[in-house]
Structure 1
């Protein structure tokens, strides 16, 4: 059984996920992949990596969450479209 990740690590990945508009597990996977590419093994360095990835996402200035929300909005004739009878 997989060990439960550290609370601080989960929080850092959660903040990254919120900024990127993805699930927490997807954000944790991104951090884990980047950490394995960089040869990072200890938890404190992974938390720092997640925080630096969050800083990069914030510096980019793109709010993917609101972008995805806007894309899900109905446009024109689609407002009255029903998926069920």
Structure 2
């Protein structure tokens, strides 16, 4: 079966996020004050798997082995269909 998974990868709490800091500063310059801002990458992955659990396991492995650095990143996997 084909499954589509959505993976969101962001920095763990306490990690420096210079891109978010620059965006927050730019927003303040145009009148949008924010209390916090963080960035994340979103991947949409289509894959073949026997069932939803197998698809989720494959995507978890992708995150652990390539997409995310477990030292600095947190990630969330959602198998959509």
Q: Structure 1-normalised TM-score?
A: 0.24
Structure with the greater relative contact order (CA < 8 A, sep ≥ 6): 1 or 2? 2
Larger radius of gyration: 1
Q: Structure 2-normalised TM-score?
A: 0.25
Q: Which has the higher helix share?
A: 1
